[in-house]
Amino acid sequence: MSETVERVRSYTFEEFVDRVKSFHGYEAIGVIIGGFMIDLAYSRLPENGLIDAVCETSKCLPDAVQLLTPCTLGNGWVRVINVGRFAVTLYDKRTGEGIRVFVDPAKIGAWPELEAWFFKLKTKKEQDPEDLLKEARRARADMCGLQAVKVADWVRKPRHHGRFVVCPVCKESYPADDGETCLACQGKLAIEGHDRSSEPYFVLLENL
């Protein structure tokens, strides 16, 4: 009987850790956990779909998305809506329906090193990278919650810019559609051109 090879998408675990180190600069446990989260999301999605992504933090998760999906910050298929939650959604770009995976505080307590890392109960100096890696490898996505969601239309709306003009305040170029001055000079906190507001960015369909 052949031994089952432990995989993160198309990579063996060791290959994925090497890719993380090469791409991120070191073996970041957040990117590795993100890999397990994306693996779990894909397992609940139809094969061969056209997938976009939303990350709810700018820390680590966007790199996991870029390593394991066709979505990159450069091609615009991954969007960062930074509300500080360690969560990622992969969704069908035509329908907006997808899978949201998040680190669940009620589950991560089963993994003391990961819990200490996640809640910053230990300083970086006090953390043992090898112990973290071993625990993450054992836990995989068992620390995560899973939801079926529908991503809001404003997130899915194609982000095409029209003509660019020069801002009269800062003298730099910006999309003319943003107003008489650029968003930075307007003092707006924007998410890729969308003002941060109370608009939800997904609707929960079901806890899985």
Other CB atoms within a 10 A radius of the CB of residue 21 amount to 14
* Degrees, nearest 5: CA angle 154-66-46: 70
- What are 180-205's pLDDT values in tens digits? 998 888 876 545 444 555 567 777 78
pLDDT tops 50 at residue 2 = no
Q: What percent of the chain has pLDDT over 90?
A: 69
Give the mean model confidence (pLDDT) for residues 66-94. 93
Instruction: Report pLDDT for 136.
Output: 94
Q: How many CB atoms lie under 10 A from the CB of residue 118?
A: 18
Tell me which residue of 127, 97, 90 sits closest to 112, measured CA to CA: 127
Q: What is the mean pLDDT of the chain?
A: 88
Is a pLDDT exceeding 50 seen at residue 173?
A: yes
> By the 8 A CB rule, do 113 and 135 touch?
yes
| C-beta separation of 161 from 110 below 8 A | no
End-to-end CA distance of the chain: 33
Report the alpha-carbon distance of residue 118 to residue 109 in Å, rounded.
10
Confidence at residue 189, expressed as pLDDT on a 0 to 100 scale: 52
Q: What local confidence, expressed as pLDDT, does residue 183 receive?
A: 81
pLDDT band, residue 119 (cuts 50/70/90) = very high
Q: What is the pLDDT of residue 63?
A: 96
pLDDT tens figures, 151-171: 998 888 776 668 999 999 999
Report the share of the chain in percent with pLDDT over 70: 90
Where is pLDDT greater, at 85 or 197? 85
CATH number, span 7-159+198-207:
3.30.1330.130
pLDDT of amino acid 1: 37
